[in-house]
Amino acid sequence: MNLLKIQHLYTAYDRIDVLEDVSIEVRQGEITCILGANGAGKSTLIRSILGLTPANRGEILFKDEDICRLPSHQIIERGIACVPEGRKVFPRMTVDENLSAGAYLVKDKRIIEERRAHVKALFPRMAERSTQLAGTLSGGEQAMLAISRSLMSSPDLLIFDEPSLGLSPLFVKENFKIIKEINQMGTTVLLVEQNVRQTLAIAHRGYVISKGSVVAQGNAEELIANAEVQAAYFG
C-alpha cells in the first residue's frame, strides 16, 4: 500500500521549474530514500510535500487524499512530520520545552507525557538533558532532539532531510541506526540524503533525482547495481 504517492509533480521558483514531472511512491512501513547532489531538487520536493512551496502541477496523495493545495498545518495534522536539515531546534528553550513544541497539536496531557517517556527511552541522552537549553547541546545531541521532537506528533510518515549533514562519522552511524529502529517500530520513513552508502544500507527502495527529474529508481540492491548510480556515487 502506498502511504504517499506523488504524480507528475512540477514545482517552480520565479517561473523556472525546479521539479519536472516527478513521480515517486512511498510504501507504508518502508524506508524510501531520495538521493541526489546539492541543487538536484531534493529540498524543493520536501517543501512541496509539506506545502511550504506549493506545486504548480501534479498530485501529492497522502492516504489517498490529494494534499497538494492544503496549508502546511493541515498537512501536519494528517500525520506527516519532518526532521529538518540542520536540526533547527529552538536554542533558548529547554529539551523538554522543545519536545512539547513537537506535540503542539495534542491536547491530552497524558498522551504528551506518554510520548515524552517513549522518546526519552529511545534517546536516554534527552532524559539526562531535560532541563538544559537546546542551544547548549552538542551537534549530535541536537540531532537527537530534532528527531525526538518530530516523534512527539506520532507521525505516520517521518521525513528526514539530510540527517547526516554536519555530524561526526560516529553520530552519522548512530543516526542511521536510529532511523532504522524508528521504521522497525512502525513509522514509514522518507529519507532524503547525499550519504548514499549509509542510506542504501537501510532503505528498502529509492529514487535518484538530478536537475529536478527522477533519473533512476528501484529497490536498494537495484540502485547499488545501477551503472549511473555507481559512476556518480561509488566511482
CATH code, 31:
3.40.50.300
What end-to-end distance do the CA atoms of the chain give, in Å? 35
- Confirm whether 148 is domain-assigned: no
Which strands, in side-by-side order, build the sheet including 2-13?
A: 16-27, 2-13, 57-62, 65-66
Give the percent of the chain with pLDDT over 70. 98
- Confirm whether 37 is domain-assigned: yes
| CA gap 206, 210 in Å, rounded | 13
- Confirm whether 20 is domain-assigned: yes
- Confirm whether 112 is domain-assigned: no
Cβ proximity of 151 and 100 under 8 Å: no
- Confirm whether 145 is domain-assigned: no
| CA gap 13, 54 in Å, rounded | 10
- Confirm whether 26 is domain-assigned: yes
- pTM as predicted: 0.91
Tell me how long the chain is: 235
| CA gap 140, 165 in Å, rounded | 11
Which structural domain range is residue 5 located in?
1-79+191-235
| CA gap 95, 114 in Å, rounded | 16
> What pLDDT shows up at residue 118?
92
> What pLDDT shows up at residue 168?
81
> What pLDDT shows up at residue 175?
87
- Confirm whether 18 is domain-assigned: yes
List, run by run, the mean pLDDT of 10-residue segments along the chain (235 residues): 96 86 97 91 95 94 96 94 87 95 90 94 92 92 92 95 84 89 95 90 94 93 85 65
> What pLDDT shows up at residue 15?
74
The number of beta carbons lying within 10 Å of the beta carbon of residue 191 is 26
| CA gap 161, 102 in Å, rounded | 17
Cβ proximity of 72 and 51 under 8 Å: yes
- Angle value at C-alpha 126, between 49 and 106, nearest 5 degrees: 50
> What pLDDT shows up at residue 235?
53
- Confirm whether 157 is domain-assigned: no
Domain count, the chain: 1
Quickly count helices (H) and strands (E) in the chain. 10, 10
Which amino acid belongs to residue 92?
A: R
Q: Is 191 left (phi over 0), alpha (psi -120 to 50) or beta?
A: beta
Q: Are strands 2-13 and 157-161 parallel, antiparallel or unpaired?
A: unpaired
Q: Record the cell numbers describing residue 111, joined without a space.
A: 498522551
